[in-house]
Amino acid sequence: MLHNVYADPRLAADHQLFARGALLVMPDAAVLAGRTAAAWYDAPFAAPSDAVLVLAPPDTSWRGPRGVRVHRRPVEDKEVVTLEDGDGLVRLTSPLRTAWEICALEPMASAVALLDAMTRAGHLDAPTLNGLVTSTSGRWGSRRVAKVVPLVDGRSQSPPESWVRVACIRAGLPLPVPQFVVLAGHEFLGQVDLAWPEQRVIVEYEGAYHFEGVQIARDDRRYERLIAAGWRVIRLSAADIRDMAAVVARIAHTLAQSLYAG
């Protein structure tokens, strides 16, 4: 992916590998940023084909090789972190500065998913993010930051959960509860991806492992118990997520049915 940068073919060709290649040719004052830096903060969602994001000083003439996206913006010393992760030193933006670039540059749903993961892992928290909104009003990207931060929820366990939650909120649906624990009396029925407890509606995203033989049987039994307890269950796959408008319409219809039934 990176022009004139080569790697051991035995290594997995993931985004972090290409980011390490960029580190070899970056100016000393440049840093990895945005979704690239987020990979070191437990949000490794950038694809191998995504450009490596680098922040470079405004006065640099370095453009980077093909496969690197360079933004020329000042970065303060306190916004730079150097990590030793077993494969060498990695120079990247701090979690908070990483969050800023993510909010400013990523589509809203992607930004929320990245910050959800960073928050879940403990690299960010709500007070710190809220402080970022109030202390940087008027700066480049501040409007995007103010829109993304209120949607961040570290309880989310996967990007699809975050995407669905954001889509529902933006569509004006009631706020769902991530990773909701469902009880029937004192009996534990499961911890579900998203729930609307008042309407007794559940959304579960089923990744690839859900379609393995043993897991299919386990899921079916769990859903049977939830339905028997009076919950409506919406099961989503990767194919469903590709049409988010249809997903939101389906959820809205089910919520309306539950209200009518109640």
pLDDT digits (tens, 9 = 90+) for 57-66: 999 999 999 9
Asked whether residue 8 is assigned to any structural domain, the reply reads: no
> Does some domain include residue 124?
yes
Q: Residue 51: which pLDDT band, with cuts at 50, 70 and 90? A: very high
Q: Are residues 111 and 228 in the same domain?
A: no
3 in any annotated domain: no
Point out the domain boundary residue: 124, 151, 178: 151
Last residue of a domain, one of 116, 151, 186: 151
Q: Which domain holds residue 254?
A: 159-261
**Could you say which of 114, 131, 151 is where a domain stops?**
151
Same domain, 189 and 87: no
pLDDT of residue 211: 47
142 and 180 both lie in a single domain: no
User: Tokens 């979704």 sit at which residue?
Assistant: 35
Model confidence pTM above 0.85:
yes
Contacts of 132 (CB under 8 A, 6+ apart): 96, 99, 100, 145, 149
For residue 160, the model assigns a pLDDT of 96
Number of domains in the chain: 2
